[in-house]
Amino acid sequence: MEKIKIKETPMSIYMYRQRSGRRFPIWFGFSLLVFLWLINSAACAHAAETKVSGRLVNGFRILDTQNHPDTSEFTVYRGDYIKFVPGENKPAVLSVPALDIEAELTPVLSDAPYFKMKEVGTFDFFINTTPGTIQVVEYTGIRYQAVSATEAAAIIKAQNPLVLDVRTPREYAVGHLPDVTLIPVQELQRRIGELATHKDAPVLIYCASGNRSTVASKILIDQGFSRIYNLEKGIKGWAKQGLPVVK
């Protein structure tokens, strides 16, 4: 067997030649192993994605306590707007001491109060005397990326994404990013068809502070959108960096 040096580099690459022919370069096998490892890591990350509770309805995460008569443990995303459905067909009182929440619940979903989950953590709650916990986690996903204002500006310049504002029309009228599409998060599920042509293109989503845009990001990803950017700290963070706001 003859050893042949084929290129001068700091890490010399060698090939081996036998009577039957040449073998692949040593680096080829190593590169293949790295490639397979990356694919496996991505698959594992996707499989390990946090399972959250409830279902999204018009931008609200609905947590049903009817199937949890003794105790309730829920996992939601930071930024979720949550509504509880009482376990019995009558009003109940919700208390979340650590978040200073106390409110009367109603079985009529449209009239039920909602609560914004702003902080990551685990919080005890009570519905009447029934205890439970809410674990609030950050949203992660292989098609999702939270970005700063300066990163968002660079993405807009380089990728020309659809920029989606998920605030209310009143907030939009006060000020918004240039060249945006306005769909309030509460309307996003039923108006998702308006964004169909952008399903395979990058989408940058923002709200006031980065909470509603997290909910909107999850809605779009569940609908098969391929690349979602979420503007951290929302338009407030964008304006703080001196970036353009249309008024």
Greatest CA span in the chain, whole angstroms? Answer: 85
Per DSSP (E only), the strands in the chain are 2-7, 13-18, 21-22, 55-57, 60-64, 72-77, 81-85, 92-96, 101-105, 115-116, 121-127, 130-137, 144-147, 162-165, 181-182, 202-206, 227-231
Split into its structural domains, the chain has a count of 3
pLDDT at 72: 82
pTM over 0.75: no
Length of the chain as a residue count: 247
Report CA-CA distances (Å) from 164 to 60, 100, 139, 198, 199. 18, 32, 18, 11, 13
Catalytic residues: 207
Residues 118 and 170 in one domain: no
Residue 245 lies inside a defined structural domain of this protein: no
**98 belongs to a structural domain:** yes
**Mean pLDDT split into 10-residue runs, the chain, 247 residues:** 46 41 51 49 47 87 74 87 80 91 88 90 92 91 93 97 98 98 97 97 97 95 96 97 97
| Any domain includes 246 | no
Euclidean distance between CA atoms 233 and 206, whole angstroms? 8
Domain match, 221 and 186 both:
yes
Q: Is 72 helix (H, G, I), strand (E, B) or coil?
A: strand
Q: Are residues 117 and 42 in the same domain?
A: no
Structural domain includes residue 133: yes
Residues 68 and 119 in one domain: yes
Q: Cβ atoms within 10 A of the Cβ of 82, count?
A: 21
Q: Which domain does 210 fall in, by range? A: 144-240
Cβ–Cβ contacts within 10 Å for residue 23, how many? 13
Determine the Cα–Cα distance for residues 67 and 77; give it in Å rounded to an integer.
21
Residue 92 has what pLDDT?
A: 87
Q: What is the CATH number of the domain that holds 76?
A: 2.60.40.420
